[in-house]
Amino acid sequence: MRENIKLSSQAEVDQCDRTEIKGNLIISGTIGNLNKLSKLKKSGGNLKIVDNSNLTSLSGLEQLGSIGGFLILSFNNSLSDLSRVTN
């Protein structure tokens, strides 16, 4: 069964201890960093990172090796560093 996860606050990101998400992962809200997502290796669906005005980098996603759908980045006005996602 595909599960969709939405993280909409820094506290929710910090509590996410997943290595895999079988469905879509949506990260949207008042989020400043993705550091606690460092265990995430696979997203079975889309990875959508949108509307995070405080997010400056994708640091924390270095272990993400597989996205089953699309990577969608939009309206992250402070995001200036995409170098952490190289897989």
Q: In what order do the strands lie in the sheet with 71-74?
A: 5-9, 25-30, 47-50, 71-74
19 and 61 Cβ atoms separated by less than 8 Å: no
- In the numeric block, which tokens belong to residue 38? 């460092």
pTM: 0.90
Q: Are 31 and 59 in contact (CB under 8 A)?
A: no
- pLDDT tens per residue, range 21-33: 999 999 999 999 9
Model confidence over 35-75: pLDDT tens digits? 999 999 999 999 999 999 999 999 999 999 999 999 999 99
